[in-house]
Structure 1
Amino acid sequence: MFSPNDDPGGRETESAEAKHLHSNSPDVARPSDLERASVSLCKLNRSPSTSAVAENATSPQTPRLGPPPPPPKIRLLVSVRNLEEAKVAIAGGVRLVDLKEPSKGSLAPTSPDIWRSVSEFVTQDAGDHNCAGIDLSIALGEPDTAVKFADQVPRTVRFAKAGLSGLDSAEAVLKFWRLLRAQLPAPVTLVAVAYADYQVAGTLSPEQVAQLALQFGLRHVLIDTFEKSGGSSLKQLGRQRLGEFAVAAQTLGIWWALAGSIDRQETQSLLKDQVWPDCIAVRGAVCEGDRAGTISPGRLVGWTSMLNNS
């Protein structure tokens, strides 16, 4: 088992908090973190029955493990497929822009040429395009493609993420993350991806992924769906399970994003029930038609307004 203290690349003298926010280097995980992870996340690691999921998805109350934390400032991530869509998203007030090709899978990568063009547009902006404070995210695909492309991610990118489909053991996941971290530029933060429909993807549960991420020194987790035809992350996991994950993540210092065909109505319902991810990630919900359509400026305004006023 990989120890979070085994960092083959060495560590600089910056604080652990700064490191996990701005680098893919592993954090120095305190023993108390891992002890609490074992208690908080392992007890959540279960596969509820279909009827339980359905009941949780419609339950008006989410049992909490303690006093509710204060609501965070929830960021909106919008996935775009090219520079033109990135410009629309930025003009619509989106400050976290993700690059992926939605017609080819949940986390299918666009071309490295598009990564570079969007990165150059954002970093070379002189104030003409409202790019100040923009963070870029890159989808690398699943294990068979991610390692091939990781070393081409621009150093100016903030986040990189790759799916874990087919990796059904802790050892396989940790080996994959080691390979990715060795390939990614040092400033890029590696995000641990968990699938709500993990059985379909043939991988570990969100709770298991989060626990491994802590052990490995990763503090950013994305919950997504592998198959887009099977329903949203909320429908897959249920309101109670997502609520328990949110509380454990807040307690353990995990920054987490919720994606997976989440619509505005579901998001408003989750926020009302104090299920507060740090980030909501969308694609189809801000497109004309389905997720393969084009970005709609009007829908962007609806989402940014909702989260700004939440």
Structure 2
Amino acid sequence: MTALLASVRSADEAFDAAHAGAELIDLKEPRAGALGGVATGDIARIVVALRARYPVRPISATIGDWPNHALDEITGCVLEVAAAGVDYVKVGISPGAGAEQCLRHLASLPAAVVPVLLSDDGVDRALAALAAQLGFVGIVFDTAGKNGRTLFDCVDVQTLAACIADARARGTMSAVAGSLGWRDLDTIRLLAPDIAGFRGALCDERDGRSGTLDPRRVERWARALHGETVAV
């Protein structure tokens, strides 16, 4: 079964998503970029409030969009977000220069980092294999561009399936995200990642990912990922 990760920007959205069936709550500010970060003070407050009602619901948070070479800034953000009490800290990795070094650096930090492999130009299988080898608890395959193209428009699905299989063989969770919608449901089910992450698909379609989360959409996606037939 694939679990639903809902990206939320506020405590109200976090409660709505959790109540509607999202198995993982991801704190992100979509108006600040692909991995736009929520202020760490807000993260800490949301974590406390959410855990009071949902004590075992995993919570992740992004650190903002940084280039691979900005290791000092990335380190500071990772440690600050981790100290706010989340279970996982998500960090974007762009393919190319500095990607391997950044992954190795992240693996050395005293935090539960989940690398987000930005795959707008295809999946870097070697980078995905390295992430699994380094012992990260999970890997996310996502896109940086939010321009109407989904992850599956950008990657070779067979290569992505091989990366997911490689990760699973090493005990590493895999997640897919990147402007995914209902037309992608069959592919998600075929790939069977551990987690599928959404933002825009959970919001009013008139406003997209910058709009307000709709708990009815969260509920439909949770049911669909669990194999139920739902009206869309």
Q: Same fold (TM over 0.5)?
A: yes
Amino acid across the alignment from 2:113: L
Contact 1:77/1:279 (8 A) holds in 2: yes
Structure 2 residue 28 is matched with structure 1 residue 105: no
d(CA) in 1 for partners of 2:161, 2:133: 22
Deviations 1:171-202 (A, max 9, x none): 532454157x14x3xxxx21121111157xxx
Aligned to 1:268: 186
Contact 1:161/1:191 (8 A) holds in 2: yes
d(CA) in 1 for partners of 2:14, 2:220: 17
Aligned to 1:157: 86
The TM-score, its normalising length taken from structure 1, stands at: 0.65
Contact 1:206/1:223 (8 A) holds in 2: no
Deviations 1:256-294 (A, max 9, x none): 0000011122123441xx311000000000001300000
Moved more, 170-179 or 189-198: 170-179
Aligned to 1:259: 177
How many residue pairs match? The answer is 220
Which residue of 117, 125, 133 corresponds with 1:207? 125
d(CA) in 1 for partners of 2:62, 2:96: 18
State the identity as a percent. Answer: 27
Higher strand share: 2
Deviations 1:65-113 (A, max 9, x none): xxxxxxxx21100000111111111121212100011011111101011
Contact 1:234/1:242 (8 A) holds in 2: no
SS in 1 for 2:89: strand
d(CA) in 2 for partners of 1:233, 1:166: 15
- Check 1:298–1:292 CA distance in 2 against 1; reply closer, same or farther (3 A cut): same
d(CA) in 2 for partners of 1:233, 1:292: 19
Tell me, which stretches of 5 or more residues in structure 2 are unaligned? none
Aligned to 1:121: 49
Following superposition, the deviation at residue 150 of structure 1 comes to 2.0
Which residue of 14, 38, 52 corresponds with 1:86? 14
Tell me, which stretches of 5 or more residues in structure 1 are unaligned? 1-72, 126-130, 200-204
Q: CA RMSD in A?
A: 2.2
Deviations 1:124-173 (A, max 9, x none): 33xxxxx1431100101233553332222246421111112376245532
SS in 1 for 2:146: coil
